[in-house]
Amino acid sequence: MTLPVKMTINGTNYRHEVEPRMLLVHYIREVVGLTGTHVGCDTSQCGACTIILNGQAVKACNVFAVQADGAQIMTIEGLAKNGQLHPIQEGFWEKHGLQCGFCTPGMILAAYQLLERYPKPTEAQIRHQLEGNLCRCTGYHNIVKAVQYAAEKMAGR
Amino acid sequence: MATATGTRLFGASEKRREDPRFITGRGQYVDDVKLPGMTHAAFVRSPHAHARLKRVDTAPARAVPGVVAVYTAQDVKVGALPCGWMLPDIKVPPRPALASGKVRYVGEPVAVVVGETAYAAKDGAEAVRVEYEALPGVSNPRKAHDKGAPQLFDDIPQNQCFYWTIGDKAATEAAFKSAAKVVVQPLRNQRLIPNAIEPRACVASYAPGTGDLTLWVTSQNPHVHRLLMAAFILGIPETKMRVIAPDVGGGFGSKIFVYNEEVVAAWASRALARPVKWTAERRESFLNDAHGRDHVTEVEMAFDRGGKITGLRVKTHANLGAYLSTFAPLIPSYLYGPLLSGVYRIPAIFCEVWGMLTTTAPVDAYRGAGRPEATYLLERTMDRAADDLGVDPAELRRQNLIPPFTGGTPYQTPVAFAYDSGNYEPALNRALELSGYAKARREQEEGRKRGRYIGIGVSTYIEACGPAPSAVAGSLGAGAGLWESGQVRVHPTGAVTVYTGSHSHGQGHETTFAQLVADQLGIPMAQVEIVHGDTAQIPFGMGTYGSRSACVGGSAILMSLDKVKAKGRKIAAHLLEANEQDLVFEGGKWSVKGSPGKAKTWGEVSLMAYLAHNLPQGMEPGLEATSFFDPPNFTFPFGAHVAVVEVDSETGQTKLLKYVAVDDVGRVINPMIVDGMVHGGIAQGVGQALWEHGVYSDDGQLLAATMMDYALPKADQLPSYETERTVTPSPVNPLGIKGAGETGTIAATPTVANAVIDALAPFGIAHIDMPLTPDKIWKAVKAARK
């Protein structure tokens, strides 16, 4: 059995027939073909699959594609506009907030929501807001610095 | 030996060139590979730790819509997964790609289902019916040694895979006989599960027309994968197999090894003449990635009246799991025993290791690999000793340090290693100073009066990196050489492509190696391309582990750079009608000494090498070189770390207040990248001290098989770290680099464990085995208060 879904991802409209059990992250990766959203754990602990769904940072491995019918979605591929990196992306690059890069898309989009909630976050707020995203490479030190960089940059513009 | 000159970029914190693709979601990891006609594999795994396989019924799976094929060990006729390191009298049990006859750990693959989609394959895997006859299991390596313990293999009595010793037994016994004080510390170094955030994955694609097999795989060493799979498992010519390890999302050792899944996928792709993809679910990573550590150890340390160490005796039961993973025997032997001298002068050491088979997942190298186990026991015991002797733990360490040796004469330990260069006291002093050690001790004293339990932990460490002299490795049982390759191809425009046998899975080689090349040739980094991870492009290479890429891989690149520069100099001299000796190479051009106007640029010389219109008599056209660097010794990074923690005596919760790391990794190409590796290493080391534990039940059920049950460090549990370095160049490679990939993990575990136990000193608690969870601390405090 399949069901029809339609959604807007990074400004483009998609319309497909999918199995009701298909996870949103698999829809994005396998059907739409946007592979920047990663799967690290399938069970909502690691946060590598974080996307922005209707304005909320959501772990796409815990949503069925059919549940996102009609949704507005932004994935990591949609964050930079007209070839211009978003300040969070800049921050991760400037402050060496990534090593292997696998957790990075999810981490960046979790930080995106964090900065909407706390435009001038303390270190403790940054760490608390990112506790749902696991990184095994950086020990989080430079991720915190990257978010602080982005916060300053975003406050200045 | 080649030498590194030029310092424009060597030592600069250049931003990473690989980052733009990662921060925009354009990395290309194995699971991103999609091929026409691609099928998907799902594995049926044993739910039993130990059982006889009575019957595997695949018929129900074949009837599932979308299932293409189902295979068991009856079908998949391939060689056993080989072990690449032998020890004297070792017993090597055959490790099948799919279990046959018996299963020996939970998660061992029994059958594979290939489907048109991953979902269909998983439906099929659920439909396979397997009949087991359960047998008793055993997960503890010491209990596995008991007479009457469950026996994994009929021909390996008492599950003892090997017995290995190092050091002088008689001298050590003598030291203990005449000791003024003996400190005894039994301890457990618990099992860890690596958990790179990218799960292992592979795509195998067989081309029936040519017989070529291409394997994309999450590998730290694609050539090792190709050699072992082609020559030992699949039995095909190496020339018919290409292994590509594209962007790889972390390894920490777990992606060194050849695993069942890629072998089965490769075989199935040949059988079906279609590409086959497999990507691990996280639970499969927990069940079948090689685990780390898992030692049960007794330590005895002898002291004289003055507090000087006179002897060390260590007995370890090392858990190897149910089968030998690719380099398993190496880790608790030569990467463990020879590290037992640490940074201390210890006249006599004797270490015995029993390598034990248990009904658990195979254990192999995990970040640090043997060296964290050695460092933990040494540093935990030093704290025990300081307590027993009534001296400050930092002071006890200081008075036992090996004096500085930086002039090229190595320090010979009593356990085989000869350290390359070392100057240990400045690192210890600086770490104490940065952490405000004396002040922290006063605050601790104050706090205790008010029921506030602050703990201060100190640890030094040494590690052996940059493996290794191939001849030495061979004499110790290695099935491989441990050099590295570096090829430099200069293009007619002067742009350069470098092919390295090292592999980057987070280390940033595309940046650091480009810094090295641009410096040496005086060209912009934009003119330098670094290629790695594809056996069809790069010369045979050994890959990345043991903090070896910069010191061994970088040195191989440097050798090739020297060769192309030497040829370029001849061409330049010819074009300038000057003597080679009169030329200076600077800023990307050769000029004649004394007449700076007369010059040929790197680009002009490169072009002439390919035009070949005007080359010196008899010179071949072209400009490229391939080199293999085989280091004369390991390198020995070292350092000292200090942690300050607060333990809540009511809840048992530990809070890490401060963490200071002073490391000496020799010369550093990119300080930003090295700092980053130290940070990540610290987090993993703290994880072992406080939270992480791959818990098996006594009979072999993995109880920590998800990220809900296995506590990986999170952002809100860790502080920002303070990192500094001292610089003692290594004399064993031309770059003076010692290696930085594992230092943090090695040092942080004993540092934090010591801090927690120090906090609990007022309760008379002298030791708790890791991880130091609130539960264990609360119980210990409660027991102490009774």
Of B118, B250, B713, the CB nearest to A102: B250
Residues of chain A with Cβ-Cβ distance to B121 below 8 Å are: none
Residues of chain B with Cβ-Cβ distance to A108 below 8 Å are: 23
Of A46, A76, A140, the CB nearest to B683: A140
Contact A96/B673, CB-based, under 8 Å?
Answer: yes
Contact A41/B707, CB-based, under 8 Å?
Answer: yes
**Rounded Cα distance, B199 and B196, in Å:** 7
Residue located via tokens 């490679």: B733
Percentage of chain B modeled with pLDDT above 70 = 99
Q: Is B279 on the interface with A (CB under 8 A)?
A: yes
Residues of chain B with Cβ-Cβ distance to A52 below 8 Å are: none
The answer to whether residue B131 scores a pLDDT higher than 50 is yes
What are the pLDDT digits (tens) for A56-114?
A: 999 999 999 999 999 999 999 999 999 999 999 999 999 999 999 999 999 999 999 99
Higher pLDDT residue, B340 or B468? B340
Contact A85/B718, CB-based, under 8 Å?
Answer: no
Q: Which residues pair with B298 in a beta bridge?
A: B186, B315
Interface of B with A in 601-640 (CB under 8 A): none
| pLDDT for the residue B640 | 98
Task: For residue A72, give both structure tokens.
Answer: 């507005």
**Rounded Cα distance, A63 and B736, in Å:** 51
**Rounded Cα distance, B153 and B159, in Å:** 7
Contact B196/A100, CB-based, under 8 Å?
Answer: yes
The answer to whether residue B746 scores a pLDDT higher than 70 is yes
Segment B12-17 mean pLDDT: 97
| pLDDT for the residue B261 | 98
Residue B172 CB coordination number (10 Å): 24
Residues of chain A with Cβ-Cβ distance to B506 below 8 Å are: 99-101, 137
Measured in degrees and rounded to the nearest 5, phi and psi for residue A125 equal: -65, -40
CB pairs under 8 A between A and B: 183
**Rounded Cα distance, B557 and B542, in Å:** 14
Residue pair A38/B29 in contact by the 8 Å Cβ criterion: yes
**Rounded Cα distance, B41 and B261, in Å:** 9
The answer to whether residue B3 scores a pLDDT higher than 50 is no
Contact B27/A133, CB-based, under 8 Å?
Answer: no
Contact A100/B682, CB-based, under 8 Å?
Answer: no
Contact A36/B247, CB-based, under 8 Å?
Answer: no
Contact A89/B32, CB-based, under 8 Å?
Answer: no
| pLDDT for the residue B2 | 41
| pLDDT for the residue B472 | 85
Q: Write the DSSP symbol of residue B57.
A: E
Contact A139/B681, CB-based, under 8 Å?
Answer: yes
Residues of chain B with Cβ-Cβ distance to A38 below 8 Å are: 29, 31, 197-198, 249
Residues of chain B with Cβ-Cβ distance to A43 below 8 Å are: 282-283, 706-708
The answer to whether residue A2 scores a pLDDT higher than 80 is yes
The answer to whether residue B6 scores a pLDDT higher than 60 is no
What are the pLDDT digits (tens) for B619-665?
A: 999 999 999 999 999 999 999 999 999 999 999 999 999 999 999 99
The answer to whether residue B4 scores a pLDDT higher than 80 is no
Residue A148 CB coordination number (10 Å): 17
What are the pLDDT digits (tens) for B347-404?
A: 999 999 999 999 999 999 999 999 999 999 999 999 999 999 999 999 999 999 999 9
Smallest Cα distance from A69 to chain B, Å:
21
Q: Is B282 on the interface with A (CB under 8 A)?
A: yes
Contact A45/B707, CB-based, under 8 Å?
Answer: yes
Percentage of chain B modeled with pLDDT above 90 = 95
Residues of chain A with Cβ-Cβ distance to B508 below 8 Å are: 99
Helix (H, G, I), strand (E, B) or coil at B248: coil
**Rounded Cα distance, B100 and B79, in Å:** 13
| pLDDT for the residue B7 | 60
Nearest residue to B714 (alpha-carbon basis) of A149, A46, A116, A38: A46
Interface of B with A in 691-720 (CB under 8 A): 706-708, 712-718, 720
Of B681, B708, B716, the CB nearest to A45: B708
Smallest Cα distance from B503 to chain A, Å:
12
Helix (H, G, I), strand (E, B) or coil at B266: helix
Of B29, B279, B716, the CB nearest to A102: B29
Per-residue pLDDT band at A157 (split at 50, 70, 90): low
Smallest Cα distance from B17 to chain A, Å:
9
Residue pair B497/B531 in contact by the 8 Å Cβ criterion: yes
Residues of chain A with Cβ-Cβ distance to B119 below 8 Å are: 19, 21-22
Task: For residue B660, give both structure tokens.
Answer: 């200071």
Residues of chain B with Cβ-Cβ distance to A32 below 8 Å are: none
Beta-sheet strands, E only, within B269-334: 276-279, 292-303, 309-321
Residue pair A92/A98 in contact by the 8 Å Cβ criterion: yes
**Rounded Cα distance, A138 and B715, in Å:** 10
Contact B505/A126, CB-based, under 8 Å?
Answer: no
Helical residues (DSSP H) of B275-326, grouped into ranges: 282-288
Higher pLDDT residue, B409 or B172? B172
Residues of chain A with Cβ-Cβ distance to B745 below 8 Å are: none
Segment A27-54 mean pLDDT: 97
**Rounded Cα distance, B750 and B443, in Å:** 22
- How many residues does this entry show for chain A? 157
| pLDDT for the residue B477 | 87
Contact A100/B32, CB-based, under 8 Å?
Answer: no
| pLDDT for the residue B552 | 95
Residues of chain B with Cβ-Cβ distance to A1 below 8 Å are: none
| pLDDT for the residue A65 | 98
What are the pLDDT digits (tens) for B173-219?
A: 999 999 999 999 999 999 999 999 999 999 999 999 999 999 999 99
Q: How far apart are the first and last CA of chain A?
A: 50
Of A38, A85, A141, the CB nearest to B720: A141
A20: nearest CA in chain B?
Answer: B119
Per-residue pLDDT band at B1 (split at 50, 70, 90): very low
| pLDDT for the residue B592 | 95
